[in-house]
Amino acid sequence: MRLSFILVLLLILISWAFAAADHIRMGDHLMSRGDYLEALEEYRQAESENPDDPQVLWRLGSALTRVALNGPGCFRHQRLEEATNYINNALTADRNILEAHLEYARALGYLALFMPDWDDFRVARRVREELDMVLNEEPDNADAHILMGLWHLWVSPMPLLKRKPQSLGSADLDSATYYMRRAVKLDNDNLEYQFQLGMAYLVCGSGAAGRQILEDLAAMEKVPIRYANIPERAQEALDGFEDE
């Protein structure tokens, strides 16, 4: 009787594992397309089947980050906090998931550094450490390069006298454009990378180069779903630049 119960339990656990794997595969497919809300739902389903799996947890955090960055600002902070919690739990369970380190840097950076008055030096160091770890393992990781460029863009405006004692003196605008150009070179089809490079050029004083990139993006008529908002964002950036 006891053996039968154990066998039944094992079969149930195996069926749950297969169900969670199916939801993960579908979620990954939807993420690649840019259907972030649908991907989030698939990962939620995987979580219900296997709530402690770090492979599920970091994916949930990744989807929540994309939903936050592509949605209205009223719930952005809340979603990013939720994302960092999920990814942190994944890393607590398994520190060897490189994608989780990358997604943690993304979520934490946008949560705490993507603002003119950021003041959390500990977070700034942590984001840099996570990105250094990823690039050390995968030097051609385009996503890590674009995020490293953003890190330099976010951190460098802080006065050097405040940054340097906090081991953040290396941040500078030249490095921001260097890393972003590298990201675009590694994945030239990624319109988000191109947009971020155009914006960085505007901030760094290379206005003509930045405007050209944004004008090209704004003029695009057919774009993949995952980049559907890029033309509008590019046009808004150009309009804001002209108004200054």
Same domain? For 182 and 225 the reply is no
CB 198 within 8 A of CB 234: yes
Same domain? For 73 and 12 the reply is yes
The residue segments making up the domain with residue 63 are 8-96
- If DSSP codes are grouped into helix, strand and coil, which group holds residue 205? coil
Same domain? For 174 and 142 the reply is yes
Same domain? For 155 and 139 the reply is yes
Same domain? For 226 and 155 the reply is no
Same domain? For 196 and 234 the reply is yes
Token reading at 184: 């675009």
CB 108 within 8 A of CB 126: yes
Same domain? For 15 and 91 the reply is yes
Same domain? For 176 and 244 the reply is no
Same domain? For 208 and 157 the reply is no
Same domain? For 150 and 124 the reply is yes
Q: Which of 139, 156, 187 is the last residue of a domain?
A: 187
Same domain? For 14 and 91 the reply is yes
Q: Which of 146, 166, 187 is the last residue of a domain?
A: 187
pLDDT tens, N- to C-terminus, the chain (244 residues): 455 545 444 444 444 455 678 899 999 999 999 999 999 999 999 999 889 999 999 999 999 999 999 877 778 999 999 999 999 999 999 999 999 999 999 999 999 999 888 999 999 999 999 999 999 999 999 999 999 999 999 999 999 999 999 999 999 999 999 999 999 999 999 999 999 999 999 999 888 999 999 999 999 998 998 899 999 999 999 998 765 5
As for how many domains the chain has, the answer is 3
Angle between the 230-243 and 207-218 helix axes, to the nearest 10 degrees?
Answer: 140
Residues 154, 160, 161, 165, CA torsion sign: positive
Residue 104 lies in a domain: no
Same domain? For 90 and 13 the reply is yes
Distance from the first to the final alpha carbon of the chain = 78
